[in-house]
A and B are shown apart, each in its own frame.
Chain A
Amino acid sequence: MKCGRCRAPAVIEVRRHNESYCRECFVRHCGEQVRRAIEHFDMIHTGERVLVAVSGGKDSLGLWQILREQGFDADGLYLGLGIGDYSDESGRYARAFAAERGWPLLEIDLTTTYGFDVDAGARAAKRAPCSACGLSKRHVFNEVAIEHGYDVLATGHNLDDEAAVLFGNVLRWETEFLGRQHPVLPAAEGFVRKVKPLIRLSERELAAYCVLTGIDYIVEECPMAAGNRHLGYKNALNEIEERSPGSKAAFVFGFLERGHERFMDEVDDARDDLRPCSVCSAPTPGEVCAFCRMRARAVGEPIGVRPVGVRGVS
């Protein structure tokens, strides 16, 4: 098989684009897709400071490298979630990646800084582990980005992630979530701008990018995610993609072009009702934000009491 661009021997085929690439053309293709997403959705502006949430996995490390190669002022943030050996290992990959390149990596440990881990948070809040993990990541990433003066927070969500989330939101007609599902969430009072520059790349392309550019990433899956609903949606979508290449991209980009705007009113209404959390000041529709409620339950404190010595609380 030959590269469709330069006729050198191909290393990967991407059926969605009906194209095959050699190593050099594929790496260029990945950079082009990220650049196109950033420009089309107006994600990052010249001179802005970017904080990349890195997990030690292929998507976030690949994203950090692509942003740096395109000249963005991008630092990394690693959040230790306390998921046993998995967190130890993923932290090692993130640290090694940053150290090899000499790029700044901020580190926060959920247990050390906030007094609980994902498992304790999930049990205390009666949430699924992935829900407690997501809540913790959204809260801490936003808090750290604001505290350190970053203009934008970039996450490694790829085309498959967005297609699976969209699939789940449509199955249940989660109209407020559909209104929020966009590769850019603009900055607002208490919120840093959040962007997803990998939305034009599949996770297979990200894995291939990492192998071809020598990025060593954690291949093992998070033990808490095994068998979750999100993985089931991804498998179902991959079956569809196999029969009809391009379906995932058509689903996501069709929604963004023709569906998203219809659900935005619900987001605007929800944002109008936000006020500062009485504990941490993060925007919340209630008195105390969901993260502070989960933290209080996990450490056995009364909800709404300002703890001493916890970051973000002075």
Chain B
Amino acid sequence: MRVVLRNPRRELDVPAPGNVGRLLRDLEIIPESVIVIRNDTLATHDERLRDEDVVEIRPVTSGGAA
């Protein structure tokens, strides 16, 4: 499956790991810090992933303190 990461934008091809939560664990990404988008909508952590899927893992953390 293809994983699109942002900031900076890059793409990874990985075997589908089971579900979204497992994918985040494998990539050592804190779930609270991202949303996962598949087919233009959000994917919950228990959603199963297939090898033909393309998912975007989009960070949500912004840096301005003021």
Q: Taking beta carbons and an 8 Å cutoff, which residues of A are in contact with B? A: 1, 10-13, 15, 20, 23, 55, 57-59, 130-131, 133-135, 137-138, 160-161, 164-165, 168, 202-204, 206-208, 211-212, 219-222, 225-226, 228-231, 234-235, 238-239, 241-242
**Contact between A11 and B61 (Cβ–Cβ < 8 Å)?**
no
Using known A-B contacts A160-B61, A242-B30, determine if residue A10 contacts B6 with beta carbons closer than 8 Å.
no
Supply 18 A–B pairs (Cβ within 8 Å), ascending by A: A11-B43, A12-B44, A13-B45, A55-B64, A133-B66, A137-B66, A161-B64, A165-B65, A203-B61, A203-B62, A204-B34, A204-B60, A208-B35, A211-B41, A211-B42, A219-B59, A235-B30, A238-B33
Q: Are A238 and B64 in contact (CB under 8 A)?
A: no
Inter-chain residue pair count (beta carbon < 8 A):
100
Are B61 and A134 in touch, CB under 8 angstroms? no
Of B6, B47, B60, B61, which contacts A231 at CB under 8 A? B61
Q: Please tell me if the beta carbons of A57 and B62 are within 8 angstroms of each other in the complex.
A: yes
Q: Which bracket fits the contact residues of B?
A: 20 to 34
Contacting pair B63 A226 (CB below 8 A): yes
Residues of B within 8 A of A (CB): 6-7, 30-35, 37, 41-47, 58-66
The one of B47, B58, B63 that contacts A219, using a Cβ cutoff of 8 Å: B58
Q: Is the CB of A220 within 8 A of B58?
A: no
Q: Do A204 and B64 touch across chains, with their CB atoms under 8 A apart? A: no
CB <8 Å contact, A207 and B63: no
Residue of A nearest to B33 (CB): A238
- Do the beta carbons of B60 and A134 come within 8 Å of each other? no
The listed residue (A1, A229, A235) touching B46 by CB distance below 8 A is: A1
Chain A residue, CB-CB nearest to B45? A13
Task: Please give, as numbers and ranges, the residues of chain A lying within 8 Å of B60 by CB-CB distance.
Answer: 58, 203-204, 206-207
Report if A134-B35 is in contact (Cβ < 8 Å); known contacts: A206-B60, A219-B58: no
What is the bound-complex CA distance between A130 and B60, given in angstroms? 18
